[in-house]
Structure 1
Amino acid sequence: MGMHVIKMPDIGEGIAEVELVAWRVQPGDEVKEDQILADVMTDKATVEIPSPVVGKVVSLGGKVGEQMAVGAELIRLEVDGVGNVKGDAPARPAATAPGPAPASSASSAPLTSSPPVSPEGGTAVAPVLSPSTTSKGAPAEQAKQPVVARAPVAPTRPAGDKPIASPAVRRRAWELGIELQYVHGSGPAGRIVHEDLDVYLASRGQPMGTGLSSAYAERHEEEATPVIGLRRKIAQKMQDAKRRIPHFSYVEEVDVTELEALRTKLNTKYAAERGKLTLLPLLARAVVLAVRDFPMMNARFDDDAGVVTRHGAVHLGIATQTEAGLMVPVVQHAESRDPWAIAAEVSRLAEAARTGKASREELSGSTITITSLGALGGIVTTPVINHPEVAIIGVNRIVERPMIRGGAVVARQMMNLSSSFDHRVVDGMDAAEFIQAIRAMLESPAMLFVE
């Protein structure tokens, strides 16, 4: 038998280190050739690392959430024949047989023989880059705990270890306002039974059968969630944007009554052959036209070099919420697309982002961004600029409000645009004039189709 060490591969694009976001195997597992061993993250997506050999996992070289340098030891396998380790050192036995991993995570030092927390599988799609999902540790083994007639002040089992109870017990616990995490189980494998609920109630000094209201029950649970993977990248990017960019926001209300009427007519006539239009592609077209007169908005600021680059091409970022977190797929060359083409591309990119199939190229290179919370858009928002851009256009929800037109009170559909700008590059007057130009086109939507 020999020892085969797999090192962190060079992902390319000058990346020196990556984040380990998920283990697909654990010590003691048998591994086939091309089987996925781990997911690692670069920027906004994950890459699957396959095994080039057949073998048995001896040790893992890091823990989930750790930054690993390219060339660092990722995993060690026991293989038939001669491995790639000089001298073929004897294989180390796995700390546990295949099965649930212990609750404590592995040491961050390479070649630990103790298995780290074993995450459940990831969502990355081979071979392209894909958004990661948050990994969960494998539950720890739970020894049977004796029933103690006192109210516990801390959970009776490790965090993340789900209490075992029948549906009837769970329902009764809910009605009584009891958190099962705090109840000792006297049944097989620590299962919580009705008698355990009685003991817990008695220990709290509650009379039996009083029907404690769950609405007023004390709650003590806590859940610690590591900020890793895509969520860590989002946090770092938002923090970096707020730290480096002096934001200022400008809010203006827009009467979209005529725009909505036009959109309805266009959908009635062209939806079957061109697809339906939402507000977003019409706003996108307005942004494309407005930056012709305000090129400083369609720009990227390299503040390290002190250089602002204005772009002729409008690579429009569309902030998109996914299960993995916020992503910004990019409509390349939005200036060359009509509203229907923009709508189709936005739909395609949003689906790719939500299903984890968006490539790195589709998630980078934007020059200006639109963000919208749809029906949850609120009255006013203060969007964070997508660094290194200098402007972001925020869309709030449409509401019908009474407005005065020609001396009469009439119902109009109103919407706020809440936009943010980099004050190092964009002056307040320029920002106001830019938003007013967009407003003028949205309130007279025929202008969207006039060159």
Structure 2
Amino acid sequence: MAQLKHFPLPDVGEGLTEAEILGWKVQAGDTVTVNQVIVEIETAKAAVELPCPWAGTVHQLLVEPGQTVEVGSPIIAIDLDPASAEAAEQPAEEGESNGQVANLVGYGPRASSGKRRPRKAGSAGAAQQAVQGAMQGAAPAATEVAEPEPAPEPQPTAPRSGGYVPLAKPPVRKLAKDLGVDLHVLHGSGDGGVITREDVRTAAEEEPVRAGAREPGAREPGARERRVPVKGVRKATAQAMVDSAFTAPHVTEFLTVDVTPMMELRERLKAHPGFRDVRVSPLAFAAKAVCLAARRTPDVNATWDEPAGEIVYKDYVHLGIAAATPRGLVVPKVRDADGMSLRELAEALEQLTATAREGRTSPEALRDGTFTITNVGVFGVDTGTPILNPGESAILALGAVRDMPWVVDGQVVPRKVCQLALSFDHRVVDGEQGSRFLADVGALLSDPSMAITY
């Protein structure tokens, strides 16, 4: 007998409830091995490739690319016994594969044992319903066929365009959605047929409504607006910001700093043998300054625990870095950043931001932050009023470094100047504590030699 098992969509991140199927790596009839990647999904936090927990043959793809499904819903059926010729024509024995599927998915009781009842001749569809019941996680009672009748095999839910799954990275898929381009009709120019940004843009210029007017985000001829479903990272970010803004009482303080000594040190480090192969950005200096200043003002690295009625102080800094990606805003974390040197921080930040922009940040890397830096300076912005990440008590906005007139020893001279903005939760951080922390960060950036006093 065939041993059909459904693979339910797992929760690949803490508390996630749904995910979008980006693309299948296999098709019906393909042989799969344990831990072989079979599908790429996009959650509210990251794009993730899922491995298959079993070896066997793909019996049916249950979800199309582009469809959003809830955690726990079956997305693919695997035949663990593909050698059986009766895989799709005979219902499973009671208590066997049907019950296993029901238990795996988490719904539908296992069929209870009982006597077989013969099926009347001409009762069309009974065997088919039994097979479909197995595929849906239910456990119908086994049936016995009095007069053999070939049962039609259920048609698999294949991707559009004849089962073709376009090869494209998550940022390219998002660009295609925004421009209304159907990836299924494109032929990628990248290695192995991978669809690139240039392929999508070219298709959009040649035929703006190529994806069809019915596609989400596609434009009707002559349309002056477009609609894109709110989901994934954008949906999660929006909800988190609303929850934070209307839960934690925000206070924001500002400080303008002469960072000329920091920029001069940065230039010297470029020629230092220990820093030649790493890019030390102003963000790296800010990250180091935050970690040092948090030692003197631990309140900014604490959490307000409403249910317990407690403030939880952290003896470590999991530093979040707000990163703008094609999928939206994500905040991956540098774990135990307070124990890193300036060089180690620079390396970690470089790797973290590159991974985020490629859409490869894992859900694990997005959890459990204690403090966040948002570097708005990379966009040429002086400063802003950042909103706290839920569960954190402070966030620092780092502005652009500009040449500005500055008074030094009574003389107006050109200097490298940067503006800082610190938002904090006033339930945890008082004005005195927030001001002291911001002043400490400013002092470390204006004179990096201050670090030796910490």
Distance 2:312 2:335 in 1: 17
Relative to 1, partners in 2 of residues 1:260 and 1:46: Cα closer, same or farther, differing over 3 Å?
closer
Q: Matched residue of 1:260: which SS?
A: helix
Relative to 1, partners in 2 of residues 1:58 and 1:315: Cα closer, same or farther, differing over 3 Å?
closer
Relative to 1, partners in 2 of residues 1:447 and 1:322: Cα closer, same or farther, differing over 3 Å?
same
1:40-439 pair list within 5 angstroms: 40-42=41-43, 44-49=45-50, 52=54, 53-55=56-58, 57=60, 59-60=62-63, 64-66=67-69, 68-70=70-72, 72-75=73-76, 80-82=85-87, 84-85=97-98, 87-89=130-132, 90-93=152-155, 99=161, 120-121=166-167, 123=169, 136=177, 139=182, 158-160=213-215, 182=221, 220-270=223-273, 273=276, 275-439=278-442
Distance 1:407 1:97 in 2: 71
Gapped regions of structure 2 (runs ≥ 5): 89-96, 99-128, 133-151, 186-208
Bigger mean CA offset, 389-398 vs 81-90: 81-90
How far is the alpha carbon of 1:255 from its aligned partner? 0.8
1:204 match = none
Q: Please give the TM-score of this superposition, normalised by the length of structure 1.
A: 0.68
How far is the alpha carbon of 1:295 from its aligned partner? 0.7
Distance 1:422 1:5 in 2: 49
1:188 match = none
Q: Please give the TM-score of this superposition, normalised by the length of structure 2.
A: 0.67
Bigger mean CA offset, 78-87 vs 311-320: 78-87
How far is the alpha carbon of 1:81 from its aligned partner? 3.0
Cα RMSD for the two superposed structures: 4.0
1:182-216 CA-partner distances (Å, limit 9, x unpaired)? 3xxxxxxxxxxxxxxxxxxxxxxxxxxxxxxxxxx
Relative to 1, partners in 2 of residues 1:47 and 1:258: Cα closer, same or farther, differing over 3 Å?
closer
CA contact (8 A) 1:315 1:333 kept: yes
Q: Which runs of 4+ in 1 moved over 6 A?
A: 95-98
1:420-443 CA-partner distances (Å, limit 9, x unpaired)? 111221112321221112112222
Q: Matched residue of 2:421: which SS?
A: strand
CA contact (8 A) 2:444 2:451 kept: yes
1:167 match = none
1:297-326 CA-partner distances (Å, limit 9, x unpaired)? 111223333322111212211222222222
Relative to 1, partners in 2 of residues 1:437 and 1:98: Cα closer, same or farther, differing over 3 Å?
closer
Letter in 1 for 2:328: G
Relative to 1, partners in 2 of residues 1:317 and 1:323: Cα closer, same or farther, differing over 3 Å?
same
Q: Matched residue of 2:262: which SS?
A: helix
1:148 match = none
CA contact (8 A) 2:23 2:65 kept: no
Letter in 1 for 2:31: E
2:142 match = none
Matching of residue 442 in structure 1 with residue 451 in structure 2: no
Structure 1 vs Structure 2: percent identity of aligned residues?
Answer: 27
CA contact (8 A) 1:22 1:121 kept: no
Relative to 1, partners in 2 of residues 1:135 and 1:8: Cα closer, same or farther, differing over 3 Å?
farther
Distance 1:48 1:417 in 2: 38
Letter in 1 for 2:22: A
Distance 1:97 1:131 in 2: 19
CA contact (8 A) 2:48 2:362 kept: no
Relative to 1, partners in 2 of residues 1:438 and 1:235: Cα closer, same or farther, differing over 3 Å?
same
CA contact (8 A) 1:131 1:230 kept: no
Q: Matched residue of 1:397: which SS?
A: coil
Gapped regions of structure 1 (runs ≥ 5): 102-117, 125-129, 143-154, 164-179, 183-218
Bigger mean CA offset, 441-450 vs 380-389: 441-450
